[in-house]
A = this chain, B = another copy of it.
Amino acid sequence: MAELTHIIDSEVFLAFSTYATIVVLKMMLMSPMTAYFRFTRKCFANMEDTGMAKTPEDKKRMLRVDPDVERVRRCHQNDLENIIPFVVIGLLYTLTGPDLSTALLHFRVFVGSRLFHTVAYVLPLPQPSRGLAWMVGMGATFSMAYRVLSSMHL
């Protein structure tokens, strides 16, 4: 492992910052998308959210589970399960001092696969498009984790 203090000021670190921010922003946008589907489908999880209803019966009817809302929420959950490990392992990978081109390849493959994953999940596209997008993203993170572990010592 090379001198970390120099690496953190490097091109690789700047690239990581940019791609990590982009993919985390994409993940955050699933929240407003869930809100959008909740309002257009009139489907809420909390009684205090049903203020647009006029009668108590209407309020109760809005406390339901909607398949479109659940689809967006599953996509958001899948993002949490995949994008956060990418950020953690990607940061540690950046500090091992990889080549800029190799690092960019990892970051771009991951971010591209997750953008496609969201499209494939929300539309939805027929399988195996979503499954493949998920696997490619996992592969990029595993490849970075391999480099982190092989440049370490317990």
Contact = CB atoms under 8 A, between A and B. Distances in A.
Interface of A: 1, 3-6, 8-9, 13-15, 17-18, 20-22, 24-25, 27-28, 30-31, 45-46, 48-49, 51, 70-71, 74, 76, 80-82, 84-85, 87-89, 92, 95, 124-127, 130, 134, 138, 141-142, 145, 148-149, 152-154
Contact of A21 (B31, B127, B149): B149
Contact of A88 (B9, B20, B46): B20
A132 B8 CA distance: 37
B127 A51 contact: yes
B18 A154 contact: yes
A95 B84 CA distance: 19
A91 to B, nearest CB: 8
B31 A138 contact: yes
Q: Which DSSP category, helix, strand, loop or mixed, fits chain A's interface?
A: helix
A75 to B, nearest CB: 10
Contacts of A51: 127
A122 to B, nearest CB: 11
Contacts of A1: 14
